[in-house]
Amino acid sequence: MATRSKSSQRWLKEHFSDPYVKKAQAEGLRSRAAYKLEELLERDRLLKPGMVVVDLGAAPGGWSQFVRQAMGDSGRVVAMDILDMPPLAGVDFLHGDFREQAVLSQLEGMLDGQPVDLVLSDMAPNKSGVDAVDQPRAMYLAELAMEFADTHLKPGGAFLIKLFQGVGFDDYIRDLRKRYARVVIRKPDASRKRSPEVYALGQGKHATPR
């Protein structure tokens, strides 16, 4: 059996001693990421009963699970991921690669013309450990998510996306500011301090970019 790398050992130690991991396990949540979303949604009062919410990059389902529980039986949650996700009651899941047009068309078919109130994107590429490779991949997914919100998010709606600080980040935020009345950057407490991830929130989508 191969020995684990030092970085892998460090991650495992950090993961299993993480208070948010322990809390998620105790509360029956699928991932610690639910606490990031909880803080973000509550701080900006993004979630209301009856909303149509699309969760991009949903697996293992922590965000969709939290949204479904928060809205009760009202509204609709549509989730998708390139990874499979065990079923969640009240969540419509599409297993596929968001970069493929055929999969995007399937997602559009699931929405069946319903205007979307909130688009969530926690998508991230598989990491190679090389910033010059990983950052462009991450920004490409972010661009696709923004284009999806351009098309399907209703005027006045909100878009919350995970981004990694680096090349292309500033330009992306500038593009968001053309599309939304208010754009803020958040770093929730449950996001590990050494992680370059932040969350960009656009609220009040303009009918057309400015």
CA angle, residues 187, 115, 201, in degrees to nearest 5: 15
Beta bridge partners of 92: 78
H/E stretch holding 134 reads: helix 131-152
Task: Quote the CA–CA distance of 81 and 39 in Å, as a whole number.
Answer: 23
Q: Is 81 annotated as a binding residue?
A: yes
Q: Please tell me which residue in 13, 22, 23, 162 is annotated as part of the active site.
A: 162
Q: Is 117 annotated as a binding residue?
A: no
Residue 91: HSE in the Cβ half-sphere, 13 Å Cα cutoff: 29
Question: Is residue 205 flagged as an active site residue?
Answer: no
Nearest to 49 by CA among 74, 78, 77: 74
Task: Yes or no: say if 61 and 69 are a contact pair by the CB < 8 Å rule.
Answer: no
Q: Is 11 annotated as a binding residue?
A: no
Residues placed in the known binding site for S-adenosyl-L-methionine:
61, 63, 81, 97, 122
Residues placed in the known binding site:
61, 63, 81, 97, 122
Catalytic residues: 162
